[in-house]
Amino acid sequence: MFSEVVKLDGMVERGEELYDFHESIVNAVRPAFKEGVRSIVLAAPARTDYAENFLDHIRKHHAWLVREGPNAATFGELIGSAGRPHEVHELVRTKAFREMIGETRSRDAENISAVLEKSLGSESDTVVSYSLEQIEDLVYGRQEHDNPRPEHVVLTDKYLAGTKNRGRVLRLLQISKNNGIKTTIVNAETRAGIRLNQLGGLVCFAKRNRKKRS
C-alpha cells in the first residue's frame, strides 16, 4: 500500500490460498480506511485478472466497502507493476495514474454527496452537524451519553485554507483520527465540495443513538 508520497506502508506475501491472500490485503489497508482513505488504485500487469479477482472478493466478502454509505471506498484499476518501490515511483508519475486518482476521488466525492443528502432526511439514523463548535463537542466527548456518535468529519480544501480557526480545525482532525473517526478533505470544486460549501464547508456525520424500548 502506498500513499501519494510513495511511502511503503506494508507488504503482503502470496500464499497458496487466494482467499487468504485477499484477506491479508484487506487487513493491511484497514488502518488506512480508519483514517478516512477512500480512494484505492489497484495496479496489475497487463493480461492478468489479479485486480478483477480481488474486486470480486471485496464484493462477496466485504460488501460494506462498496455499498453506498460513509464507509464505502472507491476502487480504480490501472495496468502496471507495483510490486517494488521503484516501480511505484515510476507508476505515480504517469498521466494514467494521475487521471485515475482524479477519477476515484471524484467518485468518492459523489458518494459523500449522496450520503450527505440522504442523511439530511428526517428519517435518517445519521445526524449532520455543521458548526465547528458542535463538531468539537461531539469529537471531544463533551456531550450526553445518548447523543449522536461521530463517525466521519468532512471538509473542503477551500474551508481549510480560508478558516481563521485553522489550528482548531487541524487539532479536530488529528483528535478525530486518534479516536477512530474518519476524516476526509474534498475538492471544493466537486459537486460534494459545492454542497459542503453551501453548508459552511465543514460537516460531521454522527450516528443517532436509538433508545431501547422498555
Q: What is the pLDDT of residues 110-123, one digit of tens each?
A: 777 777 877 777 66
CATH number at residue 108: 3.30.420
Say whether pLDDT at 84 is over 90: no
Task: Give the residue, 167 or 29, on which the prediction is more confident.
Answer: 167
Say whether pLDDT at 194 is over 80: yes
Question: In sequence order, what DSSP letters do the residues of 136-159 get, joined into one string?
Answer: HHHHTT-S-TTSPEEEEEEEEHHH
On whether both 35 and 89 belong to a single domain, the answer is yes
pLDDT single digits (tens) 32-47: 776 667 778 888 888 8
The rounded mean pLDDT for the chain is 81
CATH number at residue 133: 3.30.1330.30
95-119 and 191-198 are packed helices; what angle lies between their axes, rounded to 10 degrees? 40
What pLDDT score does 1 carry?
40
Domain that holds residue 36: 18-114
Domains held by the chain: number? 2
pLDDT single digits (tens) 119-148: 777 667 888 899 999 999 999 986 666 678
On whether both 203 and 163 belong to a single domain, the answer is yes
Separation of alpha carbons 175 and 90, rounded Å: 34
On whether both 83 and 139 belong to a single domain, the answer is no
